[in-house]
Copies of this chain bind each other. A is one copy, B any other.
Amino acid sequence: MDSLIDKITSLLSDYAHCIDSDELERWPEFFTEQARYFVTTAFNQEKGLSIGIIDASSRNMLEDRVAALRKANIYEPQRYRHIISIVRITGNDGMLARVEASFMVVRTMIDGTQDLFVSGRYEDVIDLSRESPLFAEKLVILDSDKIDTLLAIPL
């Protein structure tokens, strides 16, 4: 029998795999219909600024985002590799779980060079009432304010 932490681990690792293998069309399926997906920086969050780098309030908006990414053809042939730290559950009422996880993303350029692309943490609300857990809210808080335009990709 899987524990809650096991279920969360599966959701987060599936999510990261979807992005890292460039299966972006499946990315919105990890969210509920009314989900919020919000990317910001630690600086903005601490100042209470509600300005997001990305601020989507439904799965449809995420689908539009992927379509735009594909159409604009701005998705460059880098590879991304999410390394997600062990998970932290901060709340759970049986229907919704609050979860945090630190992460970093390694970027591999077409010439083979690699760098630390971003680091930060997820603050997620996970809907446990469905057959499979889904993100009802995903807040991505980046450690650095130096934002690469490539942040157009999902994190």
Question: A-side interface residues toward B, CB under 8 Å?
Answer: 1-6, 9-10, 12-14, 16-17, 20, 42, 79, 81-89, 100-104, 106, 108, 111-116, 119-121, 143-146
Contacts and interface: CB of A to CB of B under 8 A. Distances in A.
Please classify the interface of chain A as helix (H, G, I), strand (E, B), loop, or mixed, using the class held by over half of its residues.
mixed
Contacts of A121: 20, 81
Given A9-B5, A82-B102, A86-B13, A116 B119 contact: no
Contact of A88 (B14, B101, B119, B145): B14
A81 B42 CA distance: 12
Contacts of A84: 85-86, 102
Contacts of A143: 79, 81, 106, 108, 114
Given A84-B85, A102-B20, A102-B83, A144 B112 contact: yes
A132 to B, nearest CB: 14
A81 B120 contact: yes
How many copies of this chain are found per oligomer? 3
Contacts of A108: 119, 143-144
Nearest to A111: B146
Contacts of A102: 13, 16-17, 20, 81-84
Residue among A14, A87, A114, A121 facing the most chain B CB atoms (10 A cut-off): A114
Residue among A85, A103, A106 facing the most chain B CB atoms (10 A cut-off): A85
